[in-house]
Amino acid sequence: MKIRKAHIKDAYRVQALLKKYASEGELLIRPMGDIFAQIRDFFVLDKNGRPAGVVALHVYWEDLGEIRSFLVEKSARGKGLGEALITSAIKEAKTIGIKKVFALTKIPGFFLKYGFKKISRSKLPHKIWKDCFNCAKYPKHCDETAVIYRIKES
């Protein structure tokens, strides 16, 4: 398996993967139009030409990005592939000059292992909540934790 930037031909498979795990409550589904519009945000874990995992780096502002739509197929978990996906997104953020990346996650312990720190969701800009409005748990029953990673300049 290798990690690569997503191609247009991956869009339907990426959505199918997201839909599968969204139905299990692990993340939010992304509309097909959003996936096409943001295909350049995505990295895929390629398993024989098919995504077995994904992560997206979405740019919000000159110094802030979000890691979103992060998942690894259950059959591929526990092999360091999630770390490789996150590392790819952080490397991309650093390359384009982003200073901080955050994630809203149900698995904060995973992110904390790789240098992320917990933060209050109230410290994040209001515009990041646009996706949350589509979640049945928003706002009072949100079960996600905000984490942030500050990119070191080299």
Domain ranges, ordered by start, for the chain: 2-150
Residue 74 clears pLDDT 70, i.e. is over it:
yes
Q: Mean of the per-residue pLDDT values for the chain? A: 86
Q: Would you say residue 72 has pLDDT above 70?
A: yes
User: What confidence score (pLDDT) does residue 1 get?
Assistant: 82
Q: Which CATH superfamily groups domain 2-150?
A: Gcn5-related N-acetyltransferase (GNAT) (3.40.630.30)
Q: How confident is the model at residue 118 (pLDDT cuts 50, 70, 90)?
A: very high
> How confident is the model at residue 76, as a pLDDT?
83
| Structural contact between residues 63 and 98, judged by C-beta atoms closer than 8 angstroms | yes
| Confidence (pTM) | 0.85
**Contact partners, residue 79, CB within 8 Å, separation at least 6:** none
pLDDT band at 60 (very low <50, low <70, confident <90, very high): confident
The predicted-structure confidence for 1-29, as pLDDT tens digits, reads as follows: 899 999 999 999 999 988 888 877 777 77
